[in-house]
Each structure stands twice: as C-alpha cells, then as structure tokens.
Structure 1
Amino acid sequence: MTPQTPQGASAPGDLELTIGPAAHGGHFVARHEGRVVFVRHALPGERVRARLTDVGEKAKFWRADVVEVLEPAPARVPHFWAPADALKAGSRGRLPVGGAEFGHIGLAEQRRLKAGIFAEQLRRLAGIEREVTVEAAAEENPDGLGWRTRASFSVAPGGHLAMHPHRSEDLVPVQEMPLASTAINALKLWEVDFTGAERVEVAAPAAGGPPLVLLIPAGGTRPRTLARIASEIGAVADPAAGETVSVAAWDPESHELTRLRGRTWVREQAEGHDYRVTGAGFWQIHRSAPGTLVQAVVQGLDLQPGERAADLFAGAGLFTAPLAEAVGTEGHVLSVEGSPGTSRDARKNLFAMPQVEVVQGRVDRVLRNHEGRLDAVLLDPPRTGAGRVVVDQISAASPRVVGYVSCDPASFARDLAWFGEAGWELEMLRVFDLYPHTHHMESFAVLRRP
C-alpha cells in the first residue's frame, strides 16, 4: 500500500528538483546529486517537490511524482480530473490514477512537447534530424475531452470500477472518466456492482449504435453472477443507453466469448466503410482516429488500379477495405492479422471484396511463405513495433512504397533505422495528437528507396 502522508507534510522520500526536458513515456528529466530522476506530472523549468516512487541505491535512475509545485511553468493549468491530479493525490499521500498524465498542461504545450519527444527519438534511435509537428485530430473538442470510444477499468473490492496509478497495483475507485465519450459515461457503470469481474472493457461506436460492455470474470465466477451484472448494467444506464447496451463475458485464456445481453460486437464506420468489431478486438480509440488515419494512408500510398498490396497487422480491416477499393477487382490486397477473433472480423468485413486475401497468422511466418510481387506494403504494428525480421522481409519484397502507422515513436524510430540500413528513406511523416492529455501519439510515415 502507498504510505499515507498528512496534507502539506513532506515524506522522507521527497526531493526538491528543478525539472529538465520531457522524455518519452510521460516523464520529465531531473537530476539529484548526479542521479537521473524521471518525474511525472511536471513541466520543464519548474521547481517542484517530488515524491520518490521507485528508488534503489544501485539503480541507474529513480522515479518520482510531483506532489507540490514551488515555481510553476506558464503552461501549467488546473487538472480537469481529480483522481488523476497528482497535486491533490499527493496532498493525501496517494498516487494519481494513470491515463491522464498530461492533464496539467495546456493542449498547445502538450503538442509542442510531443513534437520534441518524437524528434528526439528519431535523432537518437534512427539518426534522423527532422522537424516534427503534432497535428490536432479533426473536430477535436477545444478542451481535449470526450474522445475515447474505448475505456478499460479494473474492479476494486466492493465491486466498484477503479483504475491503477502508474506502475502500481493500488486501485483507486472512479466515478467518471472525462476523456471517455458521452455514450460511455451515460452507461453510469460506476453505479454497478461488478463483484465477480476482474476487469471491465467498454466500447461505444463513434457513429452511434449499441455500446458493448465486456466483462473479464475473476476466477471461479459463476454464470448467474455475470447475468446479474448484465442485468444491473441495463438498469442503471441512462434510458437511451440502457435499452441498447450489449454485455458479453470474455475469457482471455480460452478466448471464449459469451453473450449475456444484446450482441457480442459493435458496428464501426470509417470513410464510407462499415466494420464489425467483436469483443476485445482492436479499434482506434479516438473518435476521429479511423477517418484521420485512413485519409493519410490512402493519400500517402497512392495505390493504383491493378496494384498488389499487403496490409500487415491488419486488425479488423480498417485500412484493408480502402486499399482494396483503390486497387480495384483487378488488384490484390493481402490482409494479415495474428489474432484469430480479429481475423474472423476481417473476413466478415471484407467478404464482398474478392481482391482481398485474409490470412490469420504471425506476420513474419506469413511473409516467409508469401509468393508474388508487392507494389505497396502498409504496416500498423503493436506498440512494440514490427521488429528486425519483418522489416527485412518487407525490404526483400522490394515494394515501391512502404506505409508505416505507429503508436510509439521509440519502436518506430528503431524500425526506421533498420529500414534505413536497407536503403529506405523517410519521405513523409505526419504525427497526430490522437491521445490528448496523455503522452501518447500516433504517426504515419511513407518510406521509399531512392
């Protein structure tokens, strides 16, 4: 448990620090007696009191959270959400919940900091000097709130929804989530007794339609307990949401999906295409992200009728459908996804496009056995990146263009260095702020060989 400290008091692990530059991962760099301290909830130039959260005499660096600001930066603003406010949490001897670690920073400054972090990763890991601009999402709310169409919660003792602080097993009950869409908050899940569930995932389609609440049961939970939770979810929600909300249970070990109420999937839309996304299947979180990224990909790759393309780490087919539309029935698109459930979604979403070949399996294994030319390759790997093997396989296929969608600047820069070793150059780069009030960002790059 986190030690409790009376309001206004200093804990033994408190340090007074002058904050330096932003670092990847939501941290800011400070130094104490020659040792690097990664500090969260700070801003460059500030003088703060920070509470150590991860410390060791032989550790290369320490971690800390700001609990008091002695000299604030001009861009500091009041945090919009009390459970994630480090200053309020620190005054009570607690840690703030994660997921809104930039909420104390004005949006314009958030994007300036993110641009600097992205440029630093390119310089350090890929050896590329490039000025970076972070673009706001289309139709972003002026306050940067209400954008999440997906949300994930843990369940605290007593059955209340809760969230974890950064790198902590503590649970902090929550009563709302300002970053989540109106449709998610309208479910009023904070009023439900989730005893018997370990986690709760929520999806609310950006274009409307029934939301889905996914229950991940705790060990030994009986079906009647899940049925009780499903009934309670429908009862407490706002009338419009309560009539249509779907509820399902998901076993991560057996991958078994059980319908409890309504259906086990949601219907999403992007740039004229409809998509079915089942259970815990991946979909871009920001309500404007699918359209923003599809437009960037289609423009960047500029596929022509009759060309052959591959969509790697393809998910439910968000990019596959517009790529198939671009190459036409005389072309061909190979869509590769590792998750069996998500690959089944892709087959349903793309069944009317005969030019699409959907293959379920690890990307490196599928590429190892793939025959025939590729004119273009698009990859949208997980946060860990594509990896050296996949980069080499793509390079060996010698497409005329490679498009790379990334949610992590460090893994992208690492992969980009390997592409560079094979003769590829970064032709175009766009970075989008699809995660306001967090340190995360999304990018799309076009690579070509001279």
Structure 2
Amino acid sequence: MPASPAAAPLDWTDRVLELQIGPIAHGGHCVARHEGRVVFVRHALPGERVRAVVTEDAGGSFCRADAIGVLDAHPDRVEPACPWARAGGCGGCDLQHATPAAQRALKAEVVREQLRRLAGLDTDVTVAELPGGTLGWRSRVRLAVDAEGRAGLRAHRSHDVLPIADCPIAPPGLLGPVLAHPSAPGAEIEVAQDVDGRRHVDGRPGPVVQRAAGREWLLSPGVFWQVHPALPDALADVVSEWAAAPHGGIGWDLYGGVGLFAAVLAGQVGPEGRVTVVESSRRAVEDGRAALADLPQVDWRVGRVERLLGGLGERPDVVVADPPRKGLGGALVRALTAVAPARVIHVACDPAALARDIALFGDCGYRLAGLRAFDAFPMTHHVECVALLLPVSA
C-alpha cells in the first residue's frame, strides 16, 4: 500500500486573523491563540480584540503577526508619537501605542513572569520611571544606510532600511543633519549626543563627554555608555546602597566598562581597600584609567571575565557584575559563588537572562534579596534590572 503523502507545512503568512489578545510576553509582543496555535502579536495590548496580519510563519506551533486594526481597544491605548511605530514599521519601539504608565506595568509583568517561570520566584516588581519623559531620551542611535544612500532605521526583524525623517525617542535635532545628506550605501552610522549636548557622528569630533556618580569620563569612539542619560546615576545609586563594602575591603567590578561602579566601590573601600575591574575592551579600560586616575585602589584587568576570574586573588566582599544580554551562565555563577562573596549585585538588561542566573545562584546557595527595575528604554520592551544576591545563611 503506498505511503500517505506528507502533509504540507502550515503557512499562514499574509493571512489576516481576528484575535483575542492575551498577556504580554517577553520580546515586545502579546500572546494570542488561533486554531490551536500561538500567535505573537505586535502593536496589541492585553484584552484587546484585533485584526492582525501574519508576518512570519515557519510552520511550527507558533507564528508572528502585527495588529492592523483594533476592534476593542484597551483603555490605555494611545496614538503613537511616530508614524513608523506600526505594522510593517520600525523595529525599535514596541509600545508607543500604550500610555507611559501602562508600558511600565507591562514591563513589570514581564519581569514577574520570567522570575516565576525560570527561577520559581513570586516577586513583586515595580518598574521605576526615570527623569526626562518617554521621548527624546535616546542619546545614541545607530543608523543603517540603504542601497540608495539614504540613512534610516531597520524594519522589525528585517534588514530593510526605513528612510525616516526623524526619531522621536532621540534628542530633538540630533539626527536631522545626518538624515538629510546621502551616505555610503550599506554603511552604518553611529550618532551620539554627550552630556553637554554636543553631537558626535562616528566618533567625531573628539571624545564623548559623560558624567555620573560625581565624576566625568571622556569616552573614545565605540566605548559603551548607557543610552538613557539618567540611567548611569540611577544604577550607581543602587550599587552604592547595596554594596556596603567595608572600609579597607575588596570589591570586584566584572564587565566593568569604564569603571562607573568601580568608582562607587572605591569610595566605599577607601585607599586601604582594593577594587578590581575586569573588562575586555582595551579602549574602555584606557578611558576608565584616565577618569579614575585619582583612585589608586582601582586595579584594571583587560580580558574576558571567564578567563581572568580565577586569578583575581582573595575573596571579595562584594561583586558587581554587568554582563552582556545573555547573562552570566552556569559556569560563571558557579565560579563566583565558589569564592563566597558576601554579596553580589547583578545588573541586567534582559529579564529572562537575569531570571536564569538567579535560579543558578539559588542552586549555589544564594538568594534574591532585592530587585530594582528601571524604565531605561521607554517606548520599547526593554527594561533594566538590578538584583541583590546574598548567601542563604545571611
């Protein structure tokens, strides 16, 4: 008997669905269900009924869609500030269609759900507003250039370049002069505004001036600094509150960048103490050394944390870790907890990675003792979190 023909792969691409929208999910979309499949829907809000067009479908248990019509609107729905914050539009902003308070509530729910699902913790979460409002905050923007030399922003989950006229989450006037002139096709252009309001295009002219924690940094092109101007001070304040490093004590600042947190720790341990910064970017270390030249208790190590951790010396009183988006991971968490620091402060820009790391710390005898979250990326789904981890016996 001949074999039955294999079923054709399911593909709903370009199909328009009427959906009842469920909860917010990590990644800037909400969850809906249709004919037994999960549909991740952008530009919708929980509880709404929408028409959505399917934008991606690999034929598995889920597909992706974009809301193109709202049949029953959430009470916190608003008109987006940008015409590109829509179906088929820019990939940067996920939540312009919600009030600022609703955006923060949605992000808090995402952090709660990640902690519940990945770390088994039921934790109250409040996402704090930062000064400056939801527009004009993004001090650094990377533009892409299309084949015709027009600079713009990339479409969602695409390499296509949208030839925007401006971006409302960037400071007023920052991008206009760059967008108005043709650029080399296929190039990328970084545009930044420093603390004194000066525009820097691809690192010109001169170093980017930034200030936080009562100090000034002169940053080389490409050296990392938080894009929200209020976030460095907010994070430094939390580290100052939670570190509690004793005078003469030892602190580690892992993935330390230019030493923002090292400056805070150095003030606590004093000249008799020691703060070790580990950072893989040589340029960041050079800029940090210059900015913290008056703090001889700060010791700089250039290299990957994974390679240098075992040679940092005696047990630290406090560790501050600000890893990349993927988090610390099992090997690093085990190595850190093996040296038994009195406290660990974990800074994270991805709530799922943070929750996974917190679960790993729990397996190694550390508990979540504090959590702060900041709306450092308004209009987007991103949220910045800081976690305090203490030994279970503490």
TM-score range, shorter chain: over 0.9
**Aligned-pair distance for 1:346?**
2.0
**Alignment correspondent of 2:372:** 430
Q: Of residues 113, 128, 140 in structure 1, which corresponds to 2:132?
A: 140
The answer as to whether partners of 1:275 and 1:318 remain within 8 angstroms in 2 is no
1:266 deviates by 0.6
Aligned partners of 2:294 and 2:24: how far apart in 1? 47
Counterpart among 127, 136, 155 of residue 120 in structure 2: 127
Tell me how far apart the structure 2 counterparts of residues 196 and 166 of structure 1 sit (CA, whole Å): 20
Are 1:204 and 2:204 counterparts? Answer: no
Normalising by the residue count of structure 2, what TM-score does the alignment of the two structures yield? 0.93
Is 2:34 aligned against 1:32? yes
Q: CA deviation at 1:209?
A: 5.2
Tell me the alpha carbon deviations over residues 284-334 of structure 1, each in whole angstroms, 9 at most, x when there is no partner. Answer: 111100111101111111222111000001111111112112211100000
1:332 and 2:274 aligned? yes
Report the CA distance shift for 1:109/1:381 in structure 2 as closer, same or farther (over 3 A): same
Work out whether 1:79 is the aligned partner of 2:71.
no
| 1:157 and 2:147 aligned | yes
Q: Quote the residue 2:70 is aligned against.
A: 69
Q: How does 1:15-26 map to 2 (within 5 A)?
A: 15-26=17-28
- Report if aligned partners of 2:14, 2:55 keep a CA contact under 8 Å in 1: no
Asked whether 1:111 is paired with 2:104, we answer: yes
- List per-residue Cα deviations over 1:73-94 (Å, max 9, x = no partner): 11110010011233xxxxxxxx
Cα deviations by residue, 1:26-83 (Å, 9 ceiling, x for unpaired): 01000110100111110011111111111133x1210111111121111110010011
Of 334, 338, 343 in structure 2, the residue corresponding to residue 401 of structure 1 is 343
Deviation, 1:183, is: 5.8
Q: Identify the residue that residue 89 of structure 2 maps to in structure 1.
A: 96
Structure 2, unaligned stretches of length 5 or more? 1-12
Q: Is the 8 A contact 2:127 2:375 kept in 1?
A: yes
Q: Distance in 2 between matches of 1:37 and 1:19?
A: 9
Q: Give a deviation string over 1:251-298, Cα, whole Å, max 9, x none.
A: xxxxxxxxxxx32x2111002111122111111111100111101111
**Alpha carbons of structure 1 residues 183 and 353: separation in structure 2 relative to 1, 3 Å:** farther
Work out the CA distance in 1 between the residues paired with 2:170 and 2:222: 17
Preserved CA contact (<8 Å) 1:183 1:204: no
TM-score with structure 1 setting the length: 0.82
Distance in 2 separating the partners of 1:136 and 1:70: 30
Flag the 1:317–1:183 CA change in 2: closer, same or farther, 3 A.
farther
The offset of 1:352, in angstroms, is 2.3
Flag the structure with higher helix content.
Answer: 1
Q: Aligned equivalents of 1:197 and 1:321: distance in 2?
A: 40
Q: Alignment length, in residue pairs?
A: 380
1: CA distance, partners of 2:187 / 2:93: 22
In 1, the alpha carbon distance for the partners of 2:29 and 2:197 equals 38
Mark the runs of 5 or more structure 1 residues left unpaired by the alignment. 1-10, 87-94, 215-245, 248-261
RMSD: 1.4
**What is the alpha-carbon distance in structure 2 between the residues aligned to residue 12 and residue 41 of structure 1?**
16
SS in 1 for 2:84: helix
Distance (Å, rounded) in 1 between the aligned partners of 2:198 and 2:249: 37
Q: Measure how far apart 1:341 and its partner are.
A: 2.2
Instruction: Confirm or deny: 8 A CA contact 1:103 1:437 kept in the other structure.
Output: yes
- Match of 1:191? 180
Rounded to whole Å, the distance in 2 between the matches of 1:429 and 1:183 is 36
Which residue pairs with 2:8 in the alignment? none
Q: 1:169 aligns with which of 155, 159, 173?
A: 159
* Contact map agreement 1:307 1:332 (CA 8 A) in 2: yes
C-alpha contact 2:278 2:302 (8 A) present in aligned 1? yes
**Cα distance per residue 1:153-195 (max 9 Å; x no partner):** 101222221111211122110111110123624x521112112
Distance in 1 separating the partners of 2:66 and 2:285: 41
Shift of 1:12: 4.6
Distance of 2:82 and 2:173 partners within structure 1: 18
One-letter amino acid of the counterpart of residue 289, structure 1: L
**Alignment equivalent of 2:56, drawn from 46, 54, 58:** 54
Secondary structure of the corresponding residue to residue 69 of structure 2: strand
State whether structure 2 residue 384 is matched by structure 1 residue 442.
yes
